[in-house]
Structure 1
Amino acid sequence: QKENGEWAIVGDPTEGALLTLAAKGGVDPLAWNQALPRVGEVPFSSERKRMTVVVNSQKKDGVPPNDAVVLTDIFAQTGALLMSMKGSPERVLDCCSHWLVDQKPQPLTDRERDRILTQNNHMAQDGLRVLGLAYRWIDTLPHDLEAAETQLVWVGLVGMLDAPRPEVRQAVKLCRQAGIHPVMITGDHPLTARAIATDLGIANGEAAVLGGQELATISDADLATKVHQVSVYARVAPEHKLRIVKTLQQQGGIIAMTGDGVNDAPALKQANIGIAMGITGTDVSQEASDMVLLDDNFASIVAATEEGRVVYDNIRRFVKYILGSNIGEVITIAASPILLPLGGVPLSPLQILWMNLVTDGVPALALAVEPAEPNTMNRPPHPPDESIFARGLGSYMIRIGIIFGIFTIVLMLWAYDYAQGNTVATGADPDRWKTMVFTSLCLAQMGHAIAVRSDTRLTIEMNPFGNPYLLGSVVLTTVLQLLLIYLPPLQTFFDTHPLSWFELSICFGFSSLIFVWVELEKLFLRWWSAKKEQG
């Protein structure tokens, strides 16, 4: 059909390519469809790998004169019904006894069969999807049309280039970098499959291709040894796809399977993640899948994989920041009645609520939209059953929480003595040490939020504007914290006291220590990793 003034294929791309070929040859497909009604059909199946239709050729009134010559002269019409076949060249050739030479059927010898198959292999090696075409004239429609698929006249080969999208090569490369093993499972000729797989980077030119005939005879034990060595499967049947998926799962693989046909449904259902095509996919395949790809583009799957890794990394980053800071706050509050005279507590309930809602919540939400790190697709996938606290996150929270608490307790003890001893001389409120502790806790979390943007890269190595939401939240939260200290209405409401510039600088200095500590940890881990690689 026409879209925006240009012809576009609706339905199966192979059928669309054949219609385009007919139009280029001067044949009007629409006129033929109207003038030659279809009276019989044996549909294509993955087992037969061919399709046969029978049309009534007695009425050619609607066929253009030039096209009518094709039936009477070129195809040497000898019957009322035309049986035509297309499909796998090997399967179509098995049904033929003659071939068309100078518009006349001639006996098909073994030599000619070998020449046709050789030409088929040459076309397949160039990455073409090759179909064989044949026909036969019959007088009446047989009861068993499939049994009548014999004595056909071979017409020739048709090659179609199903060119991959340009972005697929880069997507395959990203898959390999990310520890994902792409596998091609197709019904195409093995040489075609190898050529396309080589072009895309799925396999090299000498890679082994496992065919459907071998899959049908190979044992489960042998398949289990080969399944990780083979990246291309050709001429496969639906049951072969299901068997490959099951074998890979038995080997501990997490399988994502793509498909668009009815026959793909069992494999899509068996896979850990079944992905159906949204444009060319059948309703059955879409119902059996876990996800529908709206643009039928493999690169979209890789992009979704990267996005999923970013989301999971940001969830861990969110947890790391929230719980690491909260553990430090709990340690500080729990230690104050023990360490201070008269069981003093530095924070009021309203101040604790402020920290949980504002200084914890706002930067944490900004961390949830942190962009992808450069190595996101340069590392293997993590086990799907791992804990959220795996790979050092749990120990990090406890370690940073303790360090957080120690720094704040040191400040608290100094500020308490300083405030009590300085009150007489300055006339300042003796409880302003609580405001110093409260401010230090809030500001320290801002430094912590900036430091946890990356597990490996230092803050100075990162673009400070890479996450503008985090930068804005840190600035906003810091300004709000200063307003709590110096704005009289907020002072009264939150029970805070104005701090001198010296006292405020002490708060900023102590709060920056947690940022420095996290950055030093990154340097240590970088040095340790380099030492292990050298060792």
Structure 2
Amino acid sequence: MITGDHVTTAGAIAAQLGITGRALTGAEFAALSDGELDAHVDEIGVVARVAPEDKVRLVDVLKRRGEIVAMTGDGVNDAPALARADIGVAMGITGTEVTKDAAEMILTDDNFATIVTAVEGGRGLYDNLMKYIRFQMVVLIGFILTFVGAGVFVVAAGTPLTPLQILWINFAIDVLLAIGLGFDAPTPGLMARRPRSPSEPVIGRGLAVRLAVGGVLIATGTLIAVGYGEARFDLTVATTMGLTAMSLLHVVAALEWRDQRASILSHDTLANGRFVVLMLVALGLTFLVTTLDGLERIFGTTPLDGGQWGVCALVALGYLLVVEAGKAVLRALERRGGVRG
């Protein structure tokens, strides 16, 4: 707590709030050298009777130590520190216009508890954005490797899916799943996570490797379904099985990549009704494109029998089991203090 109030008053309020550490006056704070302040700043709980430059200095000291600094204030003398902090928080009711202009966040109700709500909302938005990015990356890798693999291994003459079938998956299946992920409910335990470092890349090396493996699995599963259909039936059945298998794989991928570590075999998977509905619609469209005469003519599909559907379902189940096993290994490594993926 850094304030213009008397040190005794500030110390008593800090004690009620659970802020521990020494209480200094602004003069005592200013008398500390930069080296002394760097060494002992963790021991300071309250700095009272301060000048505006003392607030700026405290912000600078904390930022030099690699801390992410949020500063709250309502007066003109708080504006320099709010502007220097990583996140300046101004009071919307009692705050001056100068303070509001210098801040990144304005509390319209002057309630500090609102900061927690704002952080939770921000984490939820970022988490949903990452769900969308992870899903889009893994299915994009899957698409690319499916056609590369089909060309290399001469599966369905190098064309496991027709252009219209690709468009169907992109716009009828993936769009629904992406909407579900982008507007998903907050992940359980989101506020218990450690803050993300600003220098952390959106897709780190570990995540990139896992996404690449996930894309390889999608491509492998699709090519298995197409190859099975081509060897036993005809090309139309083979591409229809490829379309069905990839659609099912994308649904499973959306479920799996909602959370990088948590298993989907839990109640939380079905807790968000909106996502469940969109997932069921995607599954319904996967079925309809192989059964409705109009869609069959447009997308070059044909009805599949129970055995053919079974192969597609087994491919999707295999993907689920492999990814779940990978998550289990990752969780075990983290419990033992291993690296984070």
TM-score, normalized by length of structure 1?
0.60
Match in the other structure for 1:291: 105
8 Å Cα contact 2:225-2:238 kept in structure 1: no
**Pick aligned residue for 2:120 from 284, 287, 306:** 306
Taking the aligned partners of 1:271 and 1:215, their CA distance within structure 2 comes to 19
**Pick aligned residue for 2:132 from 312, 318, 326:** 318
1:189 aligns with 2:6: yes
1:198 aligns with 2:23: no
**Pick aligned residue for 1:370 from 181, 184, 192:** 184
AA partner of residue 450 (structure 1):
L
Q: 1:349 to 1:501 in 2, by over 3 A?
A: same
Show CA shifts across 1:303-350 (max 9, x none): 211221222122111111111012112111222133236724121111
AA partner of residue 512 (structure 1):
L
8 Å Cα contact 1:328-1:405 kept in structure 2: yes
Show CA shifts across 1:216-255 (max 9, x none): 2221221122223323222212121111111111222221
Taking the aligned partners of 1:342 and 1:323, their CA distance within structure 2 comes to 25
Match in the other structure for 2:291: 486
8 Å Cα contact 1:260-1:280 kept in structure 2: yes
AA partner of residue 173 (structure 2):
T
AA partner of residue 507 (structure 1):
C
AA partner of residue 278 (structure 1):
G
Q: 1:306 to 1:508 in 2, by over 3 A?
A: same
Taking the aligned partners of 1:347 and 1:408, their CA distance within structure 2 comes to 10
AA partner of residue 4 (structure 2):
G
**Pick aligned residue for 2:267 from 462, 469, 481:** 462
Give the 3-state SS of the residue equivalent to 1:392 in structure 2: helix
Show CA shifts across 1:48-70 (max 9, x none): xxxxxxxxxxxxxxxxxxxxxxx
8 Å Cα contact 1:485-1:497 kept in structure 2: yes
1:503 aligns with 2:308: yes
**Which one has more relative contact order, counting CA pairs under 8 Å at least 6 apart?**
2
Greater mean deviation of Cα atoms: 268-277 or 329-338: 329-338
Kindly tell me the number of residue pairs found equivalent between the two proteins: 338
AA partner of residue 261 (structure 2):
T
- Rg larger in 1 or in 2? 1
Taking the aligned partners of 1:532 and 1:253, their CA distance within structure 2 comes to 23
Match in the other structure for 1:526: 331
Match in the other structure for 1:108: none
Q: 1:297 to 1:464 in 2, by over 3 A?
A: same
Taking the aligned partners of 1:530 and 1:265, their CA distance within structure 2 comes to 44
AA partner of residue 97 (structure 2):
D
Higher percent of residues as helix: 2
AA partner of residue 267 (structure 2):
M
Match in the other structure for 1:354: 168
AA partner of residue 367 (structure 1):
L
How many Å apart are 1:450 and its aligned residue? 1.4
Match in the other structure for 2:27: 213
For structure 1, the residue ranges without an aligned partner over 5 or more in a row are: 1-183, 421-429
1:475 aligns with 2:292: no
Q: 1:441 to 1:240 in 2, by over 3 A?
A: same
1:266 aligns with 2:57: no
Greater mean deviation of Cα atoms: 393-402 or 373-382: 373-382
Taking the aligned partners of 2:191 and 2:174, their CA distance within structure 1 comes to 30
Give the 3-state SS of the residue equivalent to 2:199 in structure 1: coil
Higher percent of residues as strand: 1
Give the 3-state SS of the residue equivalent to 1:463 in structure 2: helix
8 Å Cα contact 1:212-1:233 kept in structure 2: yes
For structure 2, the residue ranges without an aligned partner over 5 or more in a row are: none
Give the 3-state SS of the residue equivalent to 1:292 in structure 2: strand
Give the 3-state SS of the residue equivalent to 1:485 in structure 2: coil
Taking the aligned partners of 1:200 and 1:416, their CA distance within structure 2 comes to 70
Taking the aligned partners of 2:66 and 2:225, their CA distance within structure 1 comes to 52
Give the 3-state SS of the residue equivalent to 1:334 in structure 2: helix
8 Å Cα contact 2:90-2:103 kept in structure 1: yes
Give the 3-state SS of the residue equivalent to 2:44 in structure 1: coil
8 Å Cα contact 1:439-1:481 kept in structure 2: yes
Taking the aligned partners of 1:216 and 1:434, their CA distance within structure 2 comes to 75
8 Å Cα contact 1:318-1:368 kept in structure 2: yes
How many Å apart are 1:453 and its aligned residue? 2.3
AA partner of residue 312 (structure 2):
C
Taking the aligned partners of 1:460 and 1:190, their CA distance within structure 2 comes to 55
Give the 3-state SS of the residue equivalent to 2:219 in structure 1: helix
8 Å Cα contact 2:52-2:78 kept in structure 1: yes
Q: CA RMSD in A?
A: 1.8
AA partner of residue 157 (structure 2):
G
Match in the other structure for 1:235: 49
Taking the aligned partners of 1:431 and 1:388, their CA distance within structure 2 comes to 40
Match in the other structure for 2:94: 280
Q: 1:341 to 1:245 in 2, by over 3 A?
A: closer
Q: 1:532 to 1:385 in 2, by over 3 A?
A: closer
Match in the other structure for 1:380: 194
Q: 1:344 to 1:250 in 2, by over 3 A?
A: closer
8 Å Cα contact 1:320-1:396 kept in structure 2: no
How many Å apart are 1:367 and its aligned residue? 0.9
**Pick aligned residue for 1:402 from 216, 222, 239:** 216
Give the 3-state SS of the residue equivalent to 2:192 in structure 1: coil
How many Å apart are 1:504 and its aligned residue? 1.3
Match in the other structure for 1:444: 249
Give the 3-state SS of the residue equivalent to 1:361 in structure 2: helix
Show CA shifts across 1:510-530 (max 9, x none): 122222222111211122223
8 Å Cα contact 2:70-2:89 kept in structure 1: yes
How many Å apart are 1:301 and its aligned residue? 0.9
